[in-house]
Structure 1
Amino acid sequence: MEDSSERGRLSPLRVLVAIASYGASNDRYLKQLIREYQTMSFAVDIVIISNIEKRVADDIECLVGLPSRNPWSLPFSHKKLFADRADRYDLFIYSEDDILITEKNLLAFLDVTASLQDDEVAGFLRIEKGDDDVINFPDVHAYFHWNTTSVRSRGQYTLASFTNEHAACYVLTRQQLAKAIKSGGFIVEPHEGKYDLLCTAATDPYTQCGLTKLIPVSHLDDFTVHHLSNKYVDSMGIRKVSLLQQIGALLQAAADPQAPPPLLGAETRLWRCMYSKDYYEPASEPAVAMIPDHARSILSIGCGSGCSERRLVERGCRVVAAPLDPVIASYAAAQGIEMVPGDLRAVLAKVESEQFDCVLYQNVLHLAPDPVEMLALFRSVLAPSALVIIQVPNMLCIPVLWRGARDRRRLHRRGGYEATGVHFTSVGRIREWCHRAGLTLDKVVPILHRRAEPIRPVMRGFVGVSMAPELVVVARAALPTSAPADKTIESVRRKRAALADDRN
């Protein structure tokens, strides 16, 4: 077997690869990774980090042991390895044992790095291949999305930031690694927050070391790595055709100085980003069911990929939607949904001459800087007898409180919206917001966890609400004689003052 010193004569570049490998279940992928690295024209040294002894080849080192008692902390072991050998290599690669990084990927990484600023790092997106050879991008899911203001040109490359920094791998140059180590955020105890332990080990360089991960969207194929296990191909992610559609919209928005801004910040700063808006959330059957059949025009505030909205289009409704951002807008527009992108006031300016039979807020009200303002702004476009449908998390339900008691990281951080990016929501809070916005609450529909559905018949009234992690609230415009709470309180104060004057 050709050793690294012989391969090193073909290229001066020395590469250290650390591969995290649990047990033996992925050994077939691990061997494929090793074969790939051994055929490269660089001087590559491979170190396997595992919880069991592995003897793959004589020239491959295996480090056994966990950095903490938590078994998922294993990947953090690579950090000390990199720090100890930081001056011996030019390139440092960390990956899980089923991530195939090719020489083509590394050559592209080196090429774009020459044009990047000191705090910018080229990153990768994972791909998976289904039985039909359709390409799936599993990293594009949940609340993760393109940062529409992050697009930049560097040499021949156009790059952008994707909010999911995790790709189960990263590549750093010696200079980038030195910057990460110097920041104080690289050599740290195993920890988790936005990501779990396994993912955090691969994202720390970007999340707490002063480096920004950028995807070279102009050369996407050079910056995709194959997730060999293909474990999410049918359960998570989007197809390549959809991703290319998003990138096209991203670049179009970046080239337009008048491009609309995102509607609101959809990602919270809670542990694991709890209560963030899912850009790809499935159709909400409970929310859609509350929209009466006679409703023909719907305004949706905070549309993601548009699954619920598409259901309404299929019912024959005209659906106008304020998208979360211009990129996801292209996704929903292709499904017959009329898009009105921009911030809340820009959206209102575009629709204020119309009237709608229903206004839908699906899991966005708690993310608005001012929920009362969001509700009040669109009260003016409600047709007579129109409904307002609000879906929100029920943060006061027993399952949520129980999980918070067992794991205090799930509890809200102090500091309110400014610190967390989210407002606390419960039936009482939604009722208060509606009243202050000039709406009256008609009905509360609890959305039970799927495992609790069999006992729905006994989950009525307060019991049902107290066990439901989500709520659908139905409201309507208050009668003209019913003043919002803020005005009512002020009028009571004035009457009391007048009575006091009369007595005097």
Structure 2
Amino acid sequence: MNNLPKLLAVLVNYGDEQLEFLKKVVKELKSFKKFDVTIIVNSNIELNIIGIDEVNVFVLNDYQLLPLTCRKVIWENKDKFDLFVYGENDHLFLEKHIEKHIEYSNILPKNRISGLIQYEENGEGYHYPAYHASFDWDFNSVEEYNGKKFAHFSNIHQASFILTKKQLNLISKKINFEELYIDPENKLINKLIRKIKISLGFKTERLKIYSVKCKVNTDIYKYGGMKKMICISEFEDNLIHHLPNLYIEGKSGRNKLSSDSNRMKEALDKLM
């Protein structure tokens, strides 16, 4: 009898441009030795990829909402699994990501949750897409638990999330897990107040509003009642590869976004 923890990975796929990445992600998930992994893919096209246990094909008016269907599938299966993973089809989950998430969940307070940092790579080293514009580490956020240091990075987007069943239930008490949370900044009254402040010359903070697609994961960290923390003591263990490496040079219509390894190292040295 299989007594391994049961892990549900729900991935989103749109079109056929990134199927090679999806195959790699699925193969890696199915290679896990310490977890019984079930993979469901929500897609707009039929798929025939070894390792996928179930494919749900959706026809939508707005495919920006396709990622949200993954949260609904997770919720529908909340009582059948111990761990839950959501990811886009080009983010490579490793078994250590799950192991570390469990380890950190056992030492972090209830109002903290561990997260990942995306990276891309070229011949010159790692680049970090989330580290751009005004996004940065909160250098006053360092906390230590069981000898491990954690810090908050202001860009909470990681195109993925890992949750224990306990965390899923806690989040569901804060937000409707099956729906996107309405950002306070998008409420009409707050838009009017901001507009008036700007017209009067008052300084206003840059809005950190994430796209509909991104909110599938950022809602978890922004409104789920748990502050996202990165374990900086074991930074390398908490990096997830964005396989296409698009943002380094701004390929395929993407903006050129990222910071290189030197900037990240300087920041980590300061945090430590």
Smaller-chain TM-score bracket: 0.7 to 0.9
The amino acid of 2:77's aligned partner reads R
Aligned to 1:468: none
TM-score (norm 2): 0.84
CA apart distance, 1:146: 1.2
Deviations 1:384-440 (A, max 9, x none): xxxxxxxxxxxxxxxxxxxxxxxxxxxxxxxxxxxxxxxxxxxxxxxxxxxxxxxxx
Deviations 1:13-61 (A, max 9, x none): 1100011111010100000011101110110000001111212237521
Instruction: Tell me if structure 2 keeps the 8 A contact 1:190–1:197.
Output: no
1:245-264 alignment to 2 at 5 Å? Answer: 245-251=266-272
Aligned to 2:66: 74
Q: Distance in 2 between matches of 1:142 and 1:186?
A: 30
Matched, 1:60 2:53: yes
Match of 1:197 among 212, 233, 237: 212
Match of 1:239 among 252, 255, 260: 260
Instruction: Tell me if structure 2 keeps the 8 A contact 1:186–1:209.
Output: no
Q: Distance in 2 between matches of 1:54 and 1:116?
A: 39
Matched, 1:108 2:100: yes
Q: Distance in 2 between matches of 1:181 and 1:14?
A: 20
Q: Measured at CA, do residues 12 and 58 of structure 1 come closer, stay the same or move farther in structure 2, by a change above 3 Å?
A: closer
Aligned to 1:372: none
Matched, 1:85 2:77: yes
Query: Per residue, is there more helix in 1 or in 2?
Result: 1
Q: Measured at CA, do residues 50 and 218 of structure 1 come closer, stay the same or move farther in structure 2, by a change above 3 Å?
A: same
Matched, 1:188 2:203: no
Instruction: Tell me if structure 2 keeps the 8 A contact 1:186–1:204.
Output: no
Aligned to 2:196: none
Match of 2:143 among 152, 155, 162: 152
The amino acid of 1:225's aligned partner reads I
Deviations 1:446-503 (A, max 9, x none): xxxxxxxxxxxxxxxxxxxxxxxxxxxxxxxxxxxxxxxxxxxxxxxxxxxxxxxxxx
Aligned to 1:333: none
1:385-404 alignment to 2 at 5 Å? Answer: none
1:125-164 alignment to 2 at 5 Å? Answer: 125-130=117-122, 132-164=123-155
Q: Distance in 1 between matches of 2:127 and 2:13?
A: 23
Matched, 1:38 2:30: yes
**Comparing both chains, which one has the higher relative contact order based on Cα–Cα distances under 8 Å and sequence gaps of 6 or more?**
2
1:400-411 alignment to 2 at 5 Å? Answer: none
How many residue pairs are counted as aligned between the two chains? 241
5+ residue gaps, structure 1, are 252-504
5+ residue gaps, structure 2, are 187-208, 250-255
Matched, 1:215 2:230: yes
SS at match of 2:139: coil
SS at match of 1:33: helix
Match of 1:226 among 238, 241, 252: 241
Matched, 1:206 2:221: yes
TM-score (norm 1): 0.46
Q: Measured at CA, do residues 149 and 40 of structure 1 come closer, stay the same or move farther in structure 2, by a change above 3 Å?
A: same
CA apart distance, 1:199: 0.6
Deviations 1:80-130 (A, max 9, x none): 111111111111000100000101222122112110111211100011111
Aligned to 2:163: 172
1:313-462 alignment to 2 at 5 Å? Answer: none
The amino acid of 2:236's aligned partner reads D
Q: Distance in 2 between matches of 1:221 and 1:56?
A: 30
CA apart distance, 1:231: 0.4
RMSD: 1.8
The amino acid of 2:258's aligned partner reads G
Instruction: Tell me if structure 2 keeps the 8 A contact 1:121–1:212.
Output: yes
SS at match of 2:173: helix
Deviations 1:165-215 (A, max 9, x none): 101111010000011112234222586761011111111111122121111
Q: Measured at CA, do residues 157 and 187 of structure 1 come closer, stay the same or move farther in structure 2, by a change above 3 Å?
A: same
Match of 1:21 among 13, 37, 41: 13
Q: Measured at CA, do residues 147 and 187 of structure 1 come closer, stay the same or move farther in structure 2, by a change above 3 Å?
A: same
Deviations 1:131-157 (A, max 9, x none): x15111111001211122211011131
1:5-16 alignment to 2 at 5 Å? Answer: 9=2, 12-16=4-8
Q: Distance in 1 between matches of 2:36 and 2:124?
A: 33
The amino acid of 1:183's aligned partner reads K
Q: Distance in 1 between matches of 2:181 and 2:65?
A: 6
Q: Distance in 1 between matches of 2:87 and 2:264?
A: 23
SS at match of 1:175: helix
SS at match of 2:120: strand
Instruction: Tell me if structure 2 keeps the 8 A contact 1:186–1:208.
Output: no
Instruction: Tell me if structure 1 keeps the 8 A contact 2:180–2:215.
Output: no
Q: Distance in 1 between matches of 2:241 and 2:150?
A: 20
